[in-house]
Homo-oligomer: A and B are copies of this chain.
């Protein structure tokens, strides 16, 4: 890695508190790579050779079984993926592909495992990250088991709305096909779900959404901090 890139890596939360020596061991064989969109990065079942950090762009985690495929999560900057597989030195459970031109930091997984052994501050950061990832999946799982498709969409819109400033408008961060899969529904049903939300003040124009009746939408969505709150 070029020394010019080092400060950028150091600024990533996961690597902020580690000792200098550990940091050196991590960046030694690590490198940045920029990928065009729709490029496959890893395939489920493969060995966990690297830990990936999305620095710019966006990465989709997806999985297949039988003949079906589903989006498991979207990773935006600065997020990691397949951390658990790296730590356990186990096969990836999910595949990953870019959904935008993306700048990705790749760190050999042996270096990560060695650093975790050595550096208390780093292992504390790893624990925090892992616990956060765990809770994020639990929330997704709750959402899928406890809500209908329309409710999942409504809550997702409220979340994006909140993330984007809460000024009555939002833009969908991914194409609708991907959003549908992420929310666990067929693309056709996402269209219909948007129609169902029309009476609740949801106006869709391409990737732009206007929320004209937050009150009504919230009444329908019944947001729940133990499912929707990303910060806990």
Which A residues contact B (CB, under 8 angstroms)?
44-45, 63-66, 68-70, 72, 83-85, 87-88, 90-91, 93-94, 116-117, 120, 123-124, 126-128, 130-135, 137-142, 144-147, 151, 184, 222, 224, 226-227, 232
Contact = CB atoms under 8 A, between A and B. Distances in A.
A90 to B, nearest CB: 5
A226 B44 contact: yes
This protein's copies in its complex: 2
25 contacts: A63-B142, A63-B145, A63-B146, A64-B146, A65-B142, A65-B146, A65-B224, A66-B146, A66-B222, A70-B145, A83-B131, A84-B134, A85-B135, A88-B131, A88-B135, A88-B232, A93-B142, A94-B138, A120-B120, A130-B131, A133-B134, A137-B137, A140-B141, A141-B144, A144-B144
Nearest to A137: B137
Chain B CB within 10 Å, residue with most, of A63, A94, A139:
A63
Nearest to A116: B127
Contacts of A128: 87-88
A219 to B, nearest CB: 12
A45 B226 CA distance: 7
Nearest to A118: B120
Contacts of A146: 63-66, 68-70
A37 to B, nearest CB: 24
A148 to B, nearest CB: 9
Nearest to A132: B88
